[in-house]
Amino acid sequence: MGKADIHDVAKAAGVSISTVSRAFTRPELVSAKTRAKVLAVADQLDFNISRSATALKSGRTNRVALLMNESITSWFNTQVFAGLESAMHPAGYDISLFQHIDTAENRRDFFTNLPIRRNVDAVVVASFAIDPHEVEQLRRIHVPIVGINIPSDEGFDASVSIDDEEGMRKATQHLIGLGHHRIVYPCSEAVKNLDASIDARTRGFVRACEEAEDRHDIDWRVLTVPRGPEFVDSALAALLALDEFPDAICCQMDMMAIPLMVKLERYGHRTPRDYSIIGFDDSPYADTLNLTTMRQDPYAMGRKAALKALDLMQGKTLETPHETVEAQLVLRGTDAPYHG
């Protein structure tokens, strides 16, 4: 028991192994009676088709690789994974996860050894600044390569990215449109060649401010603080040290905005009464705590990437291989018109 193979089932059902195989994967080619018999016997013997054998025979692996920066535990990565999974699992694919492809060492390791070579049917690269040489290496796997939030389409068969710069520009314009004058952008340092979206967001903020300078009298600044677990407190301190407290705060992400608004209240600065604050992501607690923010939907991006990969694996040609989605302004309770 627990050892029944296709021959055992065939024998017990009084048919050939071909018929057993067909009963599972080509039911329409087997008479209803035979099929019922086979499936009943199979269930009794705890038999099931072996995915390894099917894979070997078919030449496919039924596996896709997901490469990501950092850990899957970040909000963004988890959502991407879940989105991918939502389409890949039903299609019969497992996701082979490669985390922490970020340090120089890990990257060299991965891209030169290519452990996934000949062992995945597609590769999805999630949100990191992969360099052209690395893409080049990836192509040697000879399977579709799909990117999510990658800095350049070059070398990718498909991609779906959010326009971080435009998203942050919209966020900033919203604050300016509300009449705010003193706008601060607290921001943790970006790691070079890694946090493409952090840089893009900062650019969006700066651009919006520069564009508005002609028409509005605004005083804006980027407040860069060191990376690390203390980045919120660093930003808080920097904010409180300002000669004049801002009337609007534009945050690179909700993880900055949420603790900031909570802590600022303890110092007497209450939003939206005293200042407006806007986040980016629409991540956990943004809703409950009523944070106005720019929504991005990494789950949807993961799912779209999966659908594209699925099509490519079937040899289809995509109508729109490369897609850009926009962040959406979600108005909630932390923004209000300026009332000097």
Tell me the C-alpha distance between 272 and 298, whole Å.
28
- Indicate which of DNA, a second copy, none lies near residue 30 (CB less than 5 to 8 Å, by partner kind): DNA
> Does position 96 bind a second copy by CB under 8 A?
yes
Which positions from 289 through 328 interact with a second copy, judged by CB under 8 A? 289, 299
Among 13, 258, 309, 336, binds a second copy (CB under 8 A): 258
Q: Does 133 bind a second copy (CB under 8 A)?
A: no
Tell me the CB-side half-sphere exposure of residue 28, using CA atoms within 13 A.
0
Binding to a second copy (CB under 8 A) within 175-234 occurs at: 229, 232
Strands 94-98 and 276-281: unpaired
**How far apart (Å, rounded) are the C-alpha atoms in residues 275 and 184?**
11
Q: Which of residues 50-89 bind DNA (CB under 7 A)?
A: 50, 52-54, 56-59
Name the minimum Å distance from CB 48 to a second copy: 4
Residue in 178, 259, 318, 338 binding a second copy, rule: CB under 8 A: 259
Q: Is the Cβ of residue 122 or residue 160 nearer to DNA in the bound state?
A: 122
CA dist 339 and 267 (Å) reads 20
Give the total of residues touching a second copy (CB under 8 A). Answer: 51
C-alpha span between 26 and 104 (Å, rounded): 48
What is the pattern of x (binds a second copy, CB under 8 A) and - over residues 227-256?
Answer: --x--x------------------------
Query: Judging by DSSP bridges, how do beta strands 293-295 and 328-330 pair with one another?
Result: antiparallel
For the chain, the C-alpha Rg in angstroms (whole number) is 26
Contact 198, 263 (CB under 8 A): no
Closest separation in Å from C-beta 257 to a second copy:
12
- Report the alpha-carbon distance of residue 247 to residue 311 in Å, rounded: 49
Nearest residue to 159 via CA among 303, 288, 308:
308
- The whole-angstrom separation of Cα 228 and Cα 243 is 26
Indicate which of DNA, a second copy, none lies near residue 265 (CB less than 5 to 8 Å, by partner kind).
a second copy
Written as one letter, the residue type at 98 is F
The bridge status of strand 182-188 relative to strand 158-162 is: unpaired
Paired tokens of 279: 């986040």
Selected binder of DNA within 22, 170, 174, 303 (CB under 7 A) = 22
* Nearer residue to a second copy within complex by CB, 143 or 176: 143
Spatial distance between the Cα atoms of 282 and 19, rounded to a whole number of angstroms: 53
Residue with tokens 């967001």: 201
Distance in angstroms (rounded) separating the CA atoms of residues 68 and 232 = 25
Is there binding between residue 113 and DNA (CB under 7 A)? no
Amino acid at 218: I
Q: Which is nearer to a second copy, 75 or 181 (CB)?
A: 75
Shortest Å, Cβ 120 to DNA: 14
Q: Is 252 helix (H, G, I), strand (E, B) or coil?
A: coil
- Nearest approach in angstroms of CB 91 to DNA is 15
**Binding residue (CB under 8 A) for a second copy from 7, 26, 108, 117:** 117
Cβ nearer to DNA, comparing 118 with 339:
118
Report the interface residues with a second copy, using CB under 8 A.
Answer: 1-2, 46-53, 55-56, 61, 63, 71-73, 78-79, 81-82, 85, 89, 94-99, 114-115, 117-119, 140-142, 229, 232, 258-259, 262-263, 265-266, 284-285, 287-289, 299
Report the interface residues with DNA, using CB under 7 A.
Answer: 5-6, 14-19, 21-22, 24-26, 29-31, 33-35, 47-50, 52-54, 56-59, 118
